[in-house]
Amino acid sequence: MVEHYDALIVGGGAAGLMCAITAGRRGKRVLVVEHANRVGKKILMSGGGRCNFTNTGTTPENYLSANPHFCKSALARYSPWHFIDMVERHRIAYHEKELGQLFCDESSKLIVRMLLDECASAGVRVETGCSIEQVQARNPGYEVRTNRGVFRSDALVVASGGLSIPAMGASGFGYQLARQFGHDVLPTRAGLVPLTLSGRPLEQLADLSGVAFAVTATSNGQVFSNSMLITHRGVSGPAILQISSYWEPGDPLSIDLLPGRDALDVLQQWQAERPAAELKTLLGELLPKRFAQRLCEVWLPNRPMRQYNLPRLREMAATLAAWPLVASGTEGYRTAEVTLGGVDTAGVSSSTMESRQVPGLYFIGEVLDVTGWLGGYNFQWAWASGHAAGSAL
Ligand code: FDA
């Protein structure tokens, strides 16, 4: 016998579960189909196991999309405070780490538990280990053939996420479904991802793997101040992950090694006050010593401060303020936190997430061409877009 639902949601991740809860609370019969052996795997691994579940400073400016206005309506109607309210009702302890980023005190497992408890009380059925073989429009509604049988539904919600971390269940299935129903999919690429170096730049830094310090990273007009970590393959850390979403191979990337300071002022002050001290010693007071030493071996001449004339000081200040890092690429989807690009929002209603051309078809979360910065913004988009669809279907 074919079972019938008001909504069948493809993907039991952050967006799919929120959509299911919202629709279930409205009395809708909802089925969540998840092909992995458990729901919310990315929630479990997020935030170093503590899930950075939202950001209290969320604004539309924290998102990348071909249409920067698309995210506004959903974000305005489901704010971080709505999600915090759910977290508090479930007595999950949390704290602010920095810049509005909220993390669980204990474990991200509590967020998945909360979502599953909410699903249960809203009467949502969740099927894990359920692989979809075929989706067809039935006019009205949809028929979905799976390894667990055939389901019919009035609404079909695509919440299957992006391509990052294939080992966690990521698949291109959402894009395939979008194309099947005539939607455009904008080119995808890895975002919030470590950058790789090759050749000389890699040789110059690889043995400093593990060294981290505060920088300001700039590319294509975007600027992020936070820490940078040298890895054995290139560079990572929050400043690099953030800028990676705005950078593509071949684009210029510059790193201010003395963020918040005027490099020329710093050098001139050292020259006036400590003329006998060598540059590498003084830089080693502001930067990790090993990195300061490498800077003075490769990019800057190391001498006692008194020996530099003003033009040389200016050149050195320019290098410190805009250290040219030549990245060759990114680590790709294997380690990326998100996928940039995806289902073109031009074909989707920003208030309901419903397809403009196919009635009853919805797209939510990361499968859409909406990508947040690092810091809880991606989950906030998943909650907000899931809530918008769950309220409308
Ligand atoms: P999500 O990927 O969560 O869920 C999609 C679901 O669909 C998955 O369960 C998948 O198995 C399932 N699926 C895929 N294909 C299917 C198919 N054919 N049939 C059935 N099911 C299918 N964000 C943030 O805000 N704060 C943070 O701390 C972090 N940390 C973080 C760490 C790491 C390591 C990663 C990789 C990512 C993050 N993120 C994050 C990003 C965040 O995890 C991501 O943006 C959201 O999980 C997106 O939610 P979705 O529900 O759209 O996709």
pLDDT digits (tens, 9 = 90+) for 112-140: 999 999 999 999 999 999 999 999 999 89
Q: 102 vs 29, 99, 115, 171, 375, CA distance in Å?
A: 32, 9, 17, 28, 8
* 3-state SS assignment for residue 170: coil
Residues 176, 75 within the same domain = yes
Q: Is the pLDDT of residue 357 over 80?
A: yes
**pLDDT tens digits, one per residue of 319-328:** 999 998 999 9
User: Does residue 42's CB lie within 6 angstroms of at least one atom of ligand 1?
Assistant: yes
**Which mutation among 144, 337, 340 tests ligand 1's pocket best, with the greatest number of atoms within 8 A of CB?**
337
Distance of alpha carbon 368 from alpha carbon 23, whole angstroms:
20
Distant-in-sequence, close-in-space partners of 202: CB < 8 Å, separation ≥ 6? 196, 233, 234
Residues 60, 145 within the same domain = yes
Residues 24, 133 within the same domain = yes
**Which mutation among 42, 180, 241, 371 tests ligand 1's pocket best, with the greatest number of atoms within 8 A of CB?**
42
Residues 56, 134 within the same domain = yes
Residues 203, 298 within the same domain = yes
Residues 213, 313 within the same domain = yes
Distance of alpha carbon 293 from alpha carbon 300, whole angstroms:
10
Pairing of the two strands 222-230 and 234-236? antiparallel
Nearest CA to ligand 1 atom 35: 337
Q: What are phi and psi of 102, to 5 degrees?
A: -100, 130
Task: List the CATH number of the domain containing 91.
Answer: 3.50.50.60
Distant-in-sequence, close-in-space partners of 261: CB < 8 Å, separation ≥ 6? none
Closest CA to 302 of 327, 269, 325, 280: 280
User: Is 3 within 8 Å of 142 (Cβ atoms)?
Assistant: no
Q: What is the mean pLDDT of the chain?
A: 97
User: Does residue 338's CB lie within 6 angstroms of at least one atom of ligand 1?
Assistant: yes
* 3-state SS assignment for residue 260: coil
Nearest CA to ligand 1 atom 2: 161
Distance of alpha carbon 243 from alpha carbon 38, whole angstroms:
32
Distance of alpha carbon 113 from alpha carbon 359, whole angstroms:
33
Task: List the CATH number of the domain containing 322.
Answer: 2.40.30.10
Mean pLDDT value across residues 302-331 = 97
User: Does residue 191's CB lie within 6 angstroms of at least one atom of ligand 1?
Assistant: no
Number of folded domains that form the chain: 2
User: Does residue 165's CB lie within 6 angstroms of at least one atom of ligand 1?
Assistant: yes
Residues 233, 356 within the same domain = no
Tell me the residue range of the domain where 229 lies. Answer: 195-330
User: Does residue 194's CB lie within 6 angstroms of at least one atom of ligand 1?
Assistant: no
Q: What pLDDT sits at residue 292?
A: 98
Residues 235, 105 within the same domain = no
Residues 309, 352 within the same domain = no
Q: What pLDDT sits at residue 195?
A: 98
Q: What pLDDT sits at residue 347?
A: 98
User: Does residue 378's CB lie within 6 angstroms of at least one atom of ligand 1?
Assistant: yes
Nearest ligand 1 atom to the CA of 366 is 52
Measured in Å, residue 225 CA sits from the centre of ligand 1 at 26
Whether this model's pTM surpasses 0.95: yes
Residues 229, 166 within the same domain = no
